[in-house]
Structure 1
Amino acid sequence: MSTRRALLALAASVVVGATAAASASAATVTLSGPTDLHACWIENVDGASGCGLALSGVSHYQEFRGLYRFDVAGNVPATATVTSATLRLPKLGLPGGTACGLNLWGIGQGADWLSTTPTWASPDGGTTSWNGGISTWLPSTVFLESGCDSTTALFDLTDLVQDWHSGALANYGFELFKPSAYAYGTTTASGAIQLVVNYTP
């Protein structure tokens, strides 16, 4: 092999190696199922609530709000850098509403609703007041879906997940609110709702 060919081969191997190293340095984790997701719902008229699924919407003057919290810290290394995060909701949920057109309310929930079943009046079922969660969303922000195909609605939650991961905001999850005349629901079953996080170690 000539000197020129040897140098070209060496340069090519360096480029391939660098590309492989760059690809290997990126990672993706999909958070789904009851191990990674805590979900509850609250309702304003009679104080009904529950966990294991989340309902959002309005039905017969009853307003439902879904609460979701993904375990980002348990799945993304503390030293990593989050590059993107996408919420994937099944387009059609229970009891038959669609995720397309949903608004995601809430960055930085200021009350811990994770230790017990929350109610409309109180996140902990006690004396802490939150009026359906609205008074403790810091700040209150709306996200619209970034895409919706035949099966899945997508929401870009990169900024929110980056703040959770960095500690800029406590991870008390977010609220899903649907201002329409029918309810949309999702369960915590594996695959039913997903948070896909891309990061570099």
Structure 2
Amino acid sequence: MKRSHQPGRIWLGGLAALVAIGWSGAAGAQDGEKLAAQLCSSCHGVHGKSESPMFPRLDAQVPNYLEAQLKGFRNHARGETDAQSFMWGIASQLDDKTITSLADYYAHQTAPAGASGDPALLARGKEIFEHGLPSEGVPACASCHGQHAEGQDTFPRLAGQHEAYLERQITHFRSGARGNAPVMSAVAHTLNDEQAKAVATFLQAQ
């Protein structure tokens, strides 16, 4: 049976999960694990290993990035439609300690290598990721996201992420819906659709 991802059900599930772990605004590491299992896994998969390109993989994600995004959902800095539908209501119930606990839990998960793709796209994407597009002023993706796309500081891990999800985020950066990352907005406006797909294909395979 197909799993439902209606926003109303996600919201009610979020409240139920918070009650189930006895959430009181002072979450610890164990609470983050419980909340991830009881709430987040319904969309992001067990241990953050999402199987649907609608929802990003969170396994082994950089904790500082996860914290920043959850706070961005909470204060509506991320305004794309998916964020409004699925994350605004849930994030509104999370205080800073709970957010830190969730981020720490996902950061400690292991991430297997992603699926491969078209060899030509992989090669083109690898070139852009490692060297950028100098003639167009686009820096190498690796300069922010790490040599192996493992992420660092507030820059997310992109290795193994769903290709379709990455392409959709580039669209959101172009439109301004994700206005909390000016560097990516500039890059997204420079990349054409073919280049964006090539980079996304390469990253999913890492």
Q: TM-score, normalised by structure 1?
A: 0.25
Q: Which of the pair has the greater relative contact order for Cα pairs under 8 Å at 6+ separation? A: 1
Please report the TM-score for the alignment, with normalisation by the length of structure 2.
0.25
Question: Where is the helix percentage greater, Structure 1 or Structure 2?
Answer: 2
